[in-house]
Amino acid sequence: MVAGVSNPADLAVVPVHALTLAGQLVATAGSWTLEAGAARFTPLFPPVPATVHAVVALTGPGWMELCRVSVPAVELEPSTRVESIDPGGDHLPANVLRISVTFSAPMAQGGASGRFHLLAEDGGELIGTLLPMPPELWDRPRRRLTVLLEPGRIKRGLPPNVQAGPPLVPGTSVTFVVDGQLTDAAGAPLVSGVQRTYRIDGPIRSRVDPRRWDVRWPDSAGDQLIVRFGRSLDRALVRRCVKVVGLDGRVVPGQAILDRDGATWTFTPAIASVAGWSLHVHPDLEDLAGNSVRRPFDRDLWDLDAGRGSSSPVVLTTDWQRSGKSTGWR
Confidence of residue 308 (pLDDT cuts 50, 70, 90): low
Using alpha carbons, list the distances in angstroms from residue 262 to 213, 227, 230. Answer: 13, 11, 10
Burial of 86 (0-12, 13-18, 19+ CB in 10 A): buried
What is the predicted pLDDT for the residue at 157? Answer: 83
The answer to whether residues 66 and 101 belong to one domain is no
The answer to whether residues 56 and 92 belong to one domain is no
What is the predicted pLDDT for the residue at 307? Answer: 55
Instruction: Indicate the SS3 state at residue 83.
Output: strand
The answer to whether residues 266 and 171 belong to one domain is no
251: in domain: yes
Spell 200-221 as b/e; 16+ CB within 10 A means b. beebbbebbebeebebebbeee
321: in domain: no
97: in domain: yes
330: in domain: no
Q: In what order do the strands lie in the sheet with 278-281?
A: 242-245, 278-281, 314-316
pLDDT top residue among 327 and 305:
305
pLDDT top residue among 119 and 73:
119
The answer to whether residues 138 and 234 belong to one domain is no
What is the predicted pLDDT for the residue at 329? Answer: 39
The answer to whether residues 182 and 230 belong to one domain is no
pLDDT top residue among 37 and 278:
278
Confidence of residue 326 (pLDDT cuts 50, 70, 90): very low
Confidence of residue 26 (pLDDT cuts 50, 70, 90): confident
Mean pLDDT of 36-42: 84
Confidence of residue 216 (pLDDT cuts 50, 70, 90): very high
CB contact at 8 A, 324 and 311: no
120: in domain: yes
pLDDT top residue among 61 and 229:
229
35: in domain: yes
Helix count (H) and strand count (E) of the chain?
3, 21
Mean pLDDT of 38-56: 87
Confidence of residue 322 (pLDDT cuts 50, 70, 90): very low
The answer to whether residues 56 and 100 belong to one domain is no
Mean pLDDT of 130-141: 91
Q: What angle do CA 151, 152, 158 make, to 5 degrees?
A: 140
User: Which domain covers residue 257, as residue numbers?
Assistant: 210-316
Three-state DSSP string of 129-184:
CECCCCCCEECCCCCEEEEEECHHHHCCCCHHHHHHCCCCCCCCEEEEEECCCCEE
* Tens-digit pLDDT profile for residues 219-272: 877 789 999 999 999 999 999 999 999 988 899 999 999 999 999 999 999 887
Mean pLDDT of 116-139: 92
Residue type, 325: K
Reference 86, options 101, 96, 71; nearest CA is 101
pLDDT top residue among 178 and 277:
178
The answer to whether residues 100 and 152 belong to one domain is yes
The answer to whether residues 46 and 152 belong to one domain is no
Using alpha carbons, list the distances in angstroms from residue 206 to 153, 269, 295, 299. Answer: 18, 31, 8, 8
What is the predicted pLDDT for the residue at 1? Answer: 74
Mean pLDDT of 171-199: 94
What is the predicted pLDDT for the residue at 324? Answer: 40
**Domains in the chain: how many in total?**
3
Among 153, 173, 201, give the residue marking a domain's end: 201
What is the CATH number for 267?
2.60.40.1220
What is the predicted pLDDT for the residue at 49? Answer: 79
28: in domain: yes
Return d(Cα 217, Cα 274) in angstroms, integer. 9
What is the predicted pLDDT for the residue at 305? Answer: 53
Report strand pairing: 194-201 vs 91-93.
Answer: parallel
Handedness of CA 124, 127, 132, 138 (dihedral sign): negative
Among 143, 174, 201, give the residue marking a domain's end: 201
The answer to whether residues 61 and 108 belong to one domain is no
Calculate what percentage of the chain has a pLDDT beyond 90.
Answer: 55
- The overall average pLDDT reported for the chain is 87
Mean pLDDT of 82-88: 94
Among 154, 182, 201, give the residue marking a domain's end: 201
Mean pLDDT of 287-309: 76
The answer to whether residues 131 and 223 belong to one domain is no
CB contact at 8 A, 270 and 285: no
The answer to whether residues 251 and 279 belong to one domain is yes
Report strand pairing: 30-35 vs 98-103.
Answer: unpaired
Confidence of residue 10 (pLDDT cuts 50, 70, 90): confident
Return d(Cα 190, Cα 179) in angstroms, integer. 8
The answer to whether residues 42 and 113 belong to one domain is no
Spell 99-113 as b/e; 16+ CB within 10 A means b. bbbebebebbeeebe
What is the predicted pLDDT for the residue at 319? Answer: 63
Instruction: For residue 240, give the DSSP letter.
Output: H
- Of 20-29, 67-76, 100-109, 307-316, minimum mean pLDDT range: 307-316
Return d(Cα 174, Cα 199) in angstroms, integer. 7
pLDDT at 113 over 80: yes
127: in domain: yes
pLDDT at 300 over 70: no
